[in-house]
């Protein structure tokens, strides 16, 4: 077993970074925690600080004000950390990619391990994405 897979063997803790988004993906991420989907049964919980997290969920296009903060949060994360870009904006910039404050999709700023497209992705898609990613590790 490699060190990386050893780190992700047990309960995963999530940290959610909402960039310049329309709030839809944020709500769908929260939706994953509520009774219908309930990711807590897999031991996944949202935590308050990225220093405690194993997975960094990033959604929304990143604007000029977010960019330095996203970099800082990524540096604070204890490694290894898995970065998941959620939603069309997180993956490519989506409809806001032409905007005058757009500073690049997430993967231009920090390394991304998985992309979950959709506007917004359904909670099932978010779960499936994370499970698929863990299978690869």
Q: Which residues contact 86 (CB under 8 A, 6 or more apart)?
A: 25, 29, 57, 58, 59, 116, 121, 126, 129
Interaction between residue 106 and another protein (CB under 8 A): no
- Give the contact letters, 54-73, x = binds to another protein (CB under 8 A), - = no: ------xx-x-xx--x---x
Interaction between residue 43 and another protein (CB under 8 A): no
d(CA 53, CA 62): 21
Residue at token pair 């979950």:
116
Interaction between residue 52 and another protein (CB under 8 A): no
Residue at token pair 């993967």:
107
d(CA 61, CA 105): 6
Per CB under 8 A, the list member of 78, 108, 119, 128 interacting with another protein is: 119
Closer of 24 and 92 to another protein (Cβ): 24
Using CB under 8 A as the criterion, which residues of the chain lie in contact with another protein when the complex forms?
16-31, 34-36, 46-48, 60-61, 63, 65-66, 69, 73, 95-96, 98-102, 119-120, 122
């Amino acid at each position: 077993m490699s060190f990386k897979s050893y780190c992700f063997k047990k309960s995963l803790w999530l940290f959610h970074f909402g960039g310049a988004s329309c709030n839809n993906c944020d709500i769908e991420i929260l939706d994953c925690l509520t009774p219908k989907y309930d990711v807590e049964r897999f031991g996944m919980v949202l935590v308050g600080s990225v220093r405690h997290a194993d997975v960094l969920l990033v959604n929304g296009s990143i604007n000029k004000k977010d960019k330095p903060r996203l970099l800082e949060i990524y540096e604070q994360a204890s490694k290894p950390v898995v970065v998941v870009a959620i939603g069309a904006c997180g993956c490519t910039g989506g409809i806001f990619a032409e905007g005058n404050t757009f500073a690049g999709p997430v993967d231009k700023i920090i390394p991304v391990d998985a992309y979950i497209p959709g506007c917004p992705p359904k909670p099932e898609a978010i779960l499936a994405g994370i499970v698929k990613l863990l299978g690869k590790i």
